[in-house]
Structure 1
Amino acid sequence: MNIAKLSVFRPIAMSMVIIFLLIIGSVSLRNLPVDLFPDLTFPVAAVTVNYEGAGPEEVEKLLSSPIENVMGTLPNVESVSSISRNGGALVLVSFKWGTDMDFSALKMREKIDAVRSALPKEVPAPKVLRFNPSDIPVMQMGVTSDSENLFEIKNIVENQIKPALDSVPGVAAVTIEGKAEKEILLTADPDYLSQFGITLSQLDQIIGTENFNLPTGSIEDKNKNLPTRVVGEFKSIEDIKSLPVPTEQGVYRLDDLVQIKETTKESSQLSYLNGEPSIGFSIQKQSGANTVKVVHDINKKLAELEKQLPESSKVSVIFDQAKFINQSIRAVVWNMIIGSLLAALILYLFLRNIRSTLIVGLSIPISIVTAFILMYFSGQTLNLLTLGGLALGVGMMVDNSIVILENIFRLRQEGLPLKEAAVKGTSEVGGAIIASTLTTVVVFLPIIFVQGLAAQLFKPLALAVTFSLLASLFTALIIVPLLSSQFMKGNAKKSLFQLKFESLNEFYGKWLDRALRSPKKTAIGTVALLVISLAGIPFIGTEFLPAQDQSFVNITAKLPPGSSLDATYKMSEDINKVIDKVPEVKLSYLTVGGTDNFTVAAGTQTNRATYSILLVPIDERSKSDLEVAENIRKQLKSIPNADISVSASDSGFSEDPVVINIIGSDLPVLKNLSEEVIGIISDVKGVREPTSSLDTNNPEVEILVNREKASNYGIGTAQIASVIGQATRGTVSSQLSRDGERIDIHLKVEEKYSRSVDALGQILIQAPTGEKIPLESVADIKRGQGPSEITRKDRLRQVEVSASILNRDLGNVIEDIRSDIKNKISLPQGYKITFGGQNEQMNDAFFKLSGALALAIVLVYMVMAAQFESFFYPFIIMFSVPLTVIGIIVGLLVTFQPLGVGSLVGMLILTGIVVNNAIVLVDYINHLKKSGMETRDAILLAGPTRLRPILMTALTTILGLIPLSFGFGEGTEIQQPMAIVIVFGLTFATFITLIFIPVIYYLFDRRKERKKEQISG
């Protein structure tokens, strides 16, 4: 080939090219963003809106329903679902994959503005949030102090830590949780105020209108135009106390009418770090920023801040994404290095020539550096999947170089001059390796047309493998001939291994000769072996993505709906006792009330406690995170009246393993069905913690207005609701600006009016006549039970039953659940049950990747047809593809690995790899036939001649992936199934192909010759 001649006879110029590549590659690597996963774009957005004091049914009617209606009119919407709970609603809008989510989020905000007037006036503006794993906080920290003074900690976080971290390059937002806030509390007694002829509403209005600085225009004085303004803003709490209030009895100071004190707001959320009161904060990075670099800069800034903070304060890291990224990348890199060394060992054993080994060994770093350049300019990031792609490509990177080097080495041993051997050796097999590389690369083309989560995850991996193979092709065609022409030397004598290999070669020649004597028996025997292996399919389970041990465990504990924050905190103390006894726990961060920073939610959840537990590193414990979670789960079962779930190995983008949706209209019927489903799936092996999204035991107080009585007094329902609202939650009349902070001025009635249902009935409502009427005179007040949460999907009510699984694959668990539900539950008319969660994601991914696999097989055939300029020989080579099934099934069974998305991607890659050896073999058979040899003689010569390069390329690929197939280190769980499929599939297919493909070639060629004879005769 001309390019081989150029590299051989222009060594200085080609050396400059290599140096240039290394420099550009190192710069590209330094500037590649580092992240845990590729930048994923989920076609899901959420609308959150709060409505303090409203129950789930009112939230559903007043908030969820109108928002759902307008969201359903957006283009490309697949489904709209909502969750209505006490105090707020969460509306989820799912779009079709490929939708421009920036534009869709903008359209959602426009729809919200259009429906804003239909929502209650007191409801704050709804928020539109995007779902994106890159928005998950990269760090979560807690600040504690020996003094346990939350105000002191709050000031440290808000005034020192947050401003410093906001200035760190790459930081998008610093969110503080659990902070203590001050307020000016004005406590009023409506009965006492009535003696002065003033109401709470009037008092609220006076406070609000007096606390202002207002511009009033301008005047001219001494030829100057001077602006004027009225200064009336409160400057201190004393200004509030001394505010004059006109009443029917005269003008009184505000503190004569109400009690005024500066205090701490009643919090709906508390935070604790290892049992100590804490202020937590989380940090989000900017889109596209380098996670590792951002976290490094944050830690550097924190180290500077610690010198300025009081000695009693301590900042503890709860979650550090960069730490897991570094550990995972380190594990993958070590696997790459070990795989490279194993590949080099194979080269040395076969060639027994250190120079030849180094020549091929150098092709690996040169190929990787070239791949980094291509990754940088294509906008990829350095993450688990792109690095996994490079790790998968390490063994394949040397395949092209091995074929060329081995051919040059063989010609050199036959006596050709060094440069002539380099040129001729490259020319002889250059076409074959281009074809084999293209067949491997082309299998990834269908992934471009696949949509969904699996495609988004594995497109970067496909690009990384593609780039590494294209780089290896460049290296094989240019760098290897150059280095071979300068440094290669022939071996003076054969090593013991080479002598043994010659014996193997003779043995293979004899077996090949025997197979060609009985070609039909050989073909039938191979097909029988394939059929027998298919019997193992029922014993292979299925999964979506493998669990990842990130040394992190989450606990969510719920008391019965309506439980107070204090009751939830007391329950958490029992959980703390269990956690303290678990040796694998490094630290725990507790949020009482609400949710953690990794969950989107709306409404109040004072009955909920959330734990973020950091475990000791994986190499310091004998149990996996799933086993630690199961241990904690068993110990927490003894805590009464608490619904506790424990989870681990959450990737951040996959749903619960088991999700069963029960759809209908009547909440009591849905509740009964959900209880039946929970009872059924609880008995299924492997199912853990089945829970329902519906709980109708939410205590509430129902106030039924007697409109006839109320109208007699001139009192309306809205006035009654306003008075009750002031009694139960009060109003924020204004704010006090002091020392750079704004403190709410909170006006509320004395607790005696909201302490009990009886006390609530004694609240006085002022009629237009001035008469004070007790609430119980115009309304019936009673306790009731209502739902704590109402879930809807596509405007139909539904209950979601979810569960996790342990020590069993997802596919078999879902199959058992389907069977039991079908046999044991009779659905009423108008109700149905559907399956979602990881099962839905898995089925979608399997369907799309199976289609991609079928298309890849067609593309591989088309590439070979173009290379051979024939449909006949590619057809023969394609017989090697089904042979991989034998190894795949054996590998999955032996390693107890279920079939998942990673395994399917491994099959996709294997489709392109497995034909390479057959291409090299068939290409050489054709070459010998063109020189005048008979088909049988050509096969018997080509097989042993090409045995060495075939075994070398197969073994380097297999051994290069051995470390990944064992799953050593953090973050290798996703690549492990791919490596297992390729290692076992290629191993079995290689050895069977060495006999089966020549036999098929012989059978079809003989039939072809007979047809020619019949036509000519």
Structure 2
Amino acid sequence: MNLSKLAVLRPIAMSMVILLLLILGIVSVRNMTIDLFPDLTFPVAAITATYDGAGPEEIENLLAEPLENAMGTIPNVETISSYSQNGGVLVVVSFHWGTDMDFAALNMREKIDTVRDFLPQGVESPRVVRFDPSDLPIIQLAVKDVSNEMIEAKQLAEEEIKPLLDSIEGVASVTVEGGVENEIKLIVDPRELATYNVTLEQLQQIIGAENLNLPAGSITDQTQQLPIRVTGQFQSISDIETLPIPTNNGIIPLNQLVTVEESLKPYNQLSFLNGEPSVGISILKQSGTNTVAVAEQIHEVLDQIKTQLPEGIEIQTVFDQSKFINQSISAVTSNMIIGSILASLVLYLFLRNIRSTLIIGFSIPISIVTTFVFMYFSGHTLNLITMGGLALGIGMMVDNAIVILENIYRLRQKGLSMKDAAIQGTTEIGPAIIASTLTTIIVFLPIIFVEGLAAQLFKPLAIVVSFSLFASLFTALIIVPLFSSLFLKTKAQKEEHSITLFTKIVDKYKQLLKFSLRHPKKTVIITISCVLVSLAGIPFIGTEYLPAQDQSYINMTVKLPEGKSLDATYEVTERVNKLIEDIEEIDLTFVTIGGGNNFSVVAGTRTNQANYTILLVPKDERAQSDQEVAEQIRTRVSDLSYAKVSVEASDGGFSDDPVSLTISGPNIDVLQELADDTIDLISEIDGVREPSSNYTEGNPQISVIIDRAAASQFGIGSAQIASAVTNATKGVVASRLARNGDELDIRLMVESTYTSSIENLSELLISTPTGQKIPLQSVAQIARDQGPSQITRTNRVREITVRASILNRSLGDVTKDIEESLKENIKFPSNQYKITFGGQDEQMNDAFFKLSLALALAVVLVYMVMAGQFESFLYPFIIMFSVPLAIIGVILGLLLSNQPFGVGSLVGMLILAGIVVNNAIVLVETINLQKKRGMMTLDAILLAAPTRLRPIFMTTLTTVLGLIPLTLGFGEGTEIQQPMAIVIVFGLSIATLITLLFIPSVYLLFDRKKQKEFSEDIHFD
């Protein structure tokens, strides 16, 4: 080990290198981006296209089909789904993971150009939109006025707060939702207008033409060039009321024709914070920016704004992603510190030498700092996954250093000088720790070839763990020998009182080892039997995709039947608020009623729907998890039979629905019937919550069916009739009144009596070209009917998706029960109809398959690395026997912790495959070293195994204890790492204990066979 020798002989130079490394590490940490998760790229893009007036079936034939056909020719497309609704279509194109989405989006635009000429006239140009997780708000605010005068709050949010937030570096957009605004209403009675022979359109033109300030040239007066400006703009409501209007009865003021009043503008969205009216503000950050840094700047600006707010106006944070990030990273950091302390404590208990403990204690921060340097220059961010990888690596980080230090410590006890012990101790054991480190790192190589969401999440973790192991190798080979040569003092050749207990353990181990070596075949058979027996526990372990994360907030949707008004929905939310107001775990509730449809290509609003964001008190301040609180809410609102309520604890937003069943076939009515039957069946399965389908029934609507023959006799057309009805129901903004720095709409409206019922609407007067006024019923039939529903297709086949959540049961168990129930009870009318599982089940099976292949490849790579290190195929083969021994601990750990087997557990097994062989490597390496010195195989085993017992125990305990905080799930945001920690802790612990007896027995059997010494008698001292 030339580097180790150089470090020992050149301590000042190496100290300077360490100091430089520490400075570089601090700078790296300060400049690293902090985020919740690594940058994720989802291979999904969508096309939106609108065609006003067309129903779903027309949209399906005229827009969806040509766009789907065009997208089908693009490379790497996995699925194409379309959602056809009244007036527009959304086509979602999913690509294979790893596709360059910039190039894919460009391909989509080119394909749209090829079919643009085949689309109907009047279709707006289709747009391509990519899905980006950064499009989700990082902060949501609520502005409320204690006096409930929400007009001022809305103005304040839009005119003062929004511009200040928009100017912050890193903020992409700020959206204001809810609140109310004033406007000037001019209420018209069409019959009254008819008596003066004035139309609504004429009033609109007159008001718009009079409310103007216009330049009118210039004049020269006493050598001055003066511009002329004609000012006719309204200054007050009085100017509007007295506006002269020419009629057949002469010129009269406007207020004789219309009723002028200032009132609230029509609204389709309301927001409430803890039951009080409020205005919502959503803030999005720019892609690639530091979430925590942007959030800090936002809060600084908000603190300044709060000092200047008018009396009674309050701003409250509803959701802050940076808060969860800080809590999660703080929890992981605390776990790292606790793990480091426990690892150092283990070292002290074994060696009872404070200098040895300090050497290892100092090597931990050096390894961490070195890891941060690697992360910074490789472009990784500080997030929940990378910090979790660092926490996983804490225990393994000191393994190499402990093995080196223990060997140096042992040589010091034999009387070698500090420098000689440092050089010889590192040289003896260096090759073994290089091999063990490489075997651990090599297991992560197959993850590079794995695709999917799980791979995107765990690749950074694997890379960071690899960085930490490289850093630990650097520390073990350079830092530990350096400090040992300078500070390691111990008592020579004298058994210290402090290790008497361990001496007894060694003696007991020697007895067990001798017994195992007397009966090596029995030892092997018993061990294999234990592995086989442990496999019987597999059916009792459930399966899952990714564990749910407790982010301390819950989403709830309250949906009334289609067509219900905003007021009706508000009344239901009042009832919901009373039902959940006394739940202690709830910190605040923010509800938005109505608002724009999430299906952006469809006009209209969801007045029948309310969306809740329920913020819980911090995790460590409540007895129930977010899932349990969600179930409590779900139980309380279950009696609201007139509304569909969906309650879901936030899971990070990366997984699909736990249960997702796609029913496909040609007939939408048959699909709806099958979906209803499926919902009824899975509702009875234990653990299934809130099953529902994405089938959307049409809204109740009023159809105005024009009689073209009658209309042509009066000289009017469909456009004029539609305009008259629109003006009557929505009104028309004729102009705007500028007042006190604000602008109010001037809206001409027909009296509400004409739109209060179908009968009154039929009496609406329409002007003909001859000046005659005719009722609407003379040229059209008015009827109440059902609007068209949505048509969903995937890969050109119609489908309905049934979704559900699960509680207190594993995904695998629930899926199995659903499969059995559907197989027994669902009868398809023909083979054109089928049900397929999607959602988390599909994601889980895909991830399990790919990661299982990665695990198998990792085992092969570990063997190849060891074969190169030992220059033998036999000894690596012996060492590989330690891998299946970990199965016992893995199954035991999952059963005891009641953890289902998921992607996290599988990644834990991948890591375990690399570290579980380390103890066997050190053991076999030492046996071979003794044999090279002339000892017989049996004697070499009996000497090597007890000699390496202490470093094996120490490295195992440091790894295990370093992961104990993660295993117990301390703090927020540790749910993803917890299954990995459980698998590693139990798998490594059990494998280590068995390895100490099993590997020597296997080694002896293979050595006997190799040397053909089966007949040789074995004598023990």
TM-score with structure 1 length normalisation? 0.92
Partner of 2:950, secondary structure, is: helix
Q: Which runs of 5+ in 2 are unaligned?
A: 1016-1021
Look up the match of 1:287: 287
Q: How far apart, in 2, do the equivalents of 1:597 and 1:165 lie?
A: 25
Look up the match of 1:136: 136
Look up the match of 1:983: 985
Partner of 1:536, secondary structure, is: helix
Would you say the 8 A contact 2:50–2:601 is kept in 1? no
Deviation at 1:69, TM superposition (A): 5.9
More moved, 181-190 vs 853-862: 181-190
Would you say the 8 A contact 1:85–1:603 is kept in 2? no
| Residues matched between the structures, number | 1013
Would you say the 8 A contact 1:88–1:603 is kept in 2? no
The answer to whether residue 851 in structure 2 is matched with residue 849 in structure 1 is yes
Q: How far apart, in 1, do the equivalents of 2:116 and 2:723 lie?
A: 21
Would you say the 8 A contact 1:664–1:796 is kept in 2? yes
Q: How far apart, in 2, do the equivalents of 1:604 and 1:664 lie?
A: 30
Q: How far apart, in 1, do the equivalents of 2:451 and 2:388 lie?
A: 21
Q: How far apart, in 1, do the equivalents of 2:603 and 2:344 lie?
A: 57
Q: 1:737 to 1:40 in 2, by over 3 A?
A: farther
Partner of 1:582, secondary structure, is: coil
Q: How far apart, in 2, do the equivalents of 1:57 and 1:94 lie?
A: 23
Deviation at 1:543, TM superposition (A): 0.7
Look up the match of 2:472: 472
Deviation at 1:751, TM superposition (A): 2.5
Q: Which amino acid aligns with 2:525?
A: I
1:94-493 alignment, distance < 5 Å: 94-105=94-105, 129-194=129-194, 199-200=199-200, 257-491=257-491, 493=494
Q: How far apart, in 1, do the equivalents of 2:119 and 2:766 lie?
A: 26
The answer to whether residue 775 in structure 2 is matched with residue 800 in structure 1 is no
More moved, 333-342 vs 709-718: 709-718
More moved, 215-224 vs 596-605: 215-224
Would you say the 8 A contact 2:86–2:788 is kept in 1? no
Look up the match of 2:701: 700
Would you say the 8 A contact 1:38–1:457 is kept in 2? yes
Would you say the 8 A contact 2:698–2:790 is kept in 1? no
Q: Which amino acid aligns with 1:357?
A: T
Deviation at 1:643, TM superposition (A): 0.6
Q: How far apart, in 1, do the equivalents of 2:641 and 2:553 lie?
A: 25
Deviation at 1:416, TM superposition (A): 1.7
Q: 1:205 to 1:850 in 2, by over 3 A?
A: farther
Deviation at 1:588, TM superposition (A): 0.9
Would you say the 8 A contact 2:343–2:395 is kept in 1? yes
Q: Which amino acid aligns with 1:688?
A: R
Q: 1:231 to 1:450 in 2, by over 3 A?
A: farther
Look up the match of 1:559: 560
Q: How far apart, in 1, do the equivalents of 2:662 and 2:270 lie?
A: 33
Q: Which amino acid aligns with 1:1001?
A: Y
Deviation at 1:871, TM superposition (A): 2.4
Among the aligned pairs, what percent are the same residue? 62
Deviation at 1:929, TM superposition (A): 2.3
Q: Which amino acid aligns with 2:163?
A: P
Deviation at 1:1006, TM superposition (A): 2.7
CA deviations over 1:206-238 (Å, ceiling 9, x no partner): 666777778999999999999999988777666
Look up the match of 2:836: 834
Q: How far apart, in 2, do the equivalents of 1:257 and 1:103 lie?
A: 60
More moved, 939-948 vs 113-122: 113-122
More moved, 921-930 vs 255-264: 255-264
The answer to whether residue 586 in structure 2 is matched with residue 589 in structure 1 is no
Q: How far apart, in 2, do the equivalents of 1:601 and 1:647 lie?
A: 26
Look up the match of 2:642: 641
Would you say the 8 A contact 2:86–2:602 is kept in 1? no
Would you say the 8 A contact 2:597–2:603 is kept in 1? no
Q: Which amino acid aligns with 1:273?
A: L
Q: How far apart, in 1, do the equivalents of 2:422 and 2:596 lie?
A: 66
Q: 1:521 to 1:711 in 2, by over 3 A?
A: farther
Look up the match of 2:1006: 1004
Q: 1:797 to 1:247 in 2, by over 3 A?
A: farther
CA deviations over 1:721-771 (Å, ceiling 9, x no partner): 444333333444555566665544444433233222222333344556665
Q: Which amino acid aligns with 2:92?
A: L
Deviation at 1:322, TM superposition (A): 1.7
Would you say the 8 A contact 2:269–2:607 is kept in 1? yes
Q: How far apart, in 1, do the equivalents of 2:383 and 2:952 lie?
A: 32
Would you say the 8 A contact 1:918–1:993 is kept in 2? yes
Q: 1:683 to 1:906 in 2, by over 3 A?
A: same
Q: Which amino acid aligns with 1:79?
A: T
Look up the match of 1:930: 932
Partner of 2:315, secondary structure, is: strand
Q: Which amino acid aligns with 2:491?
A: N
The answer to whether residue 617 in structure 2 is matched with residue 578 in structure 1 is no
Look up the match of 1:79: 79
Q: 1:276 to 1:91 in 2, by over 3 A?
A: farther
Would you say the 8 A contact 1:419–1:485 is kept in 2? yes
Would you say the 8 A contact 2:941–2:1000 is kept in 1? yes
Deviation at 1:619, TM superposition (A): 2.0
Deviation at 1:46, TM superposition (A): 4.1
Q: How far apart, in 2, do the equivalents of 1:599 and 1:327 lie?
A: 35
Deviation at 1:853, TM superposition (A): 1.3
Look up the match of 1:517: 518
The answer to whether residue 657 in structure 2 is matched with residue 656 in structure 1 is yes
Q: Which amino acid aligns with 2:270?
A: L
Look up the match of 2:538: 537
Partner of 1:278, secondary structure, is: strand
Q: How far apart, in 2, do the equivalents of 1:191 and 1:295 lie?
A: 58
Would you say the 8 A contact 1:49–1:602 is kept in 2? no
1:871-882 alignment, distance < 5 Å: 871-882=873-884
1:710-749 alignment, distance < 5 Å: 710=711, 715-733=716-734, 743-749=744-750
The answer to whether residue 781 in structure 2 is matched with residue 809 in structure 1 is no
Q: 1:284 to 1:883 in 2, by over 3 A?
A: same
The answer to whether residue 823 in structure 2 is matched with residue 822 in structure 1 is yes
Q: How far apart, in 2, do the equivalents of 1:841 and 1:739 lie?
A: 57
Look up the match of 2:888: 886
More moved, 403-412 vs 200-209: 200-209
Q: How far apart, in 2, do the equivalents of 1:898 and 1:546 lie?
A: 9
Q: How far apart, in 1, do the equivalents of 2:66 and 2:758 lie?
A: 32
TM-score with structure 2 length normalisation? 0.92
Q: Which amino acid aligns with 2:465?
A: V
Look up the match of 2:792: 791
Deviation at 1:44, TM superposition (A): 2.2
Look up the match of 1:616: 617
Q: How far apart, in 2, do the equivalents of 1:231 and 1:97 lie?
A: 62
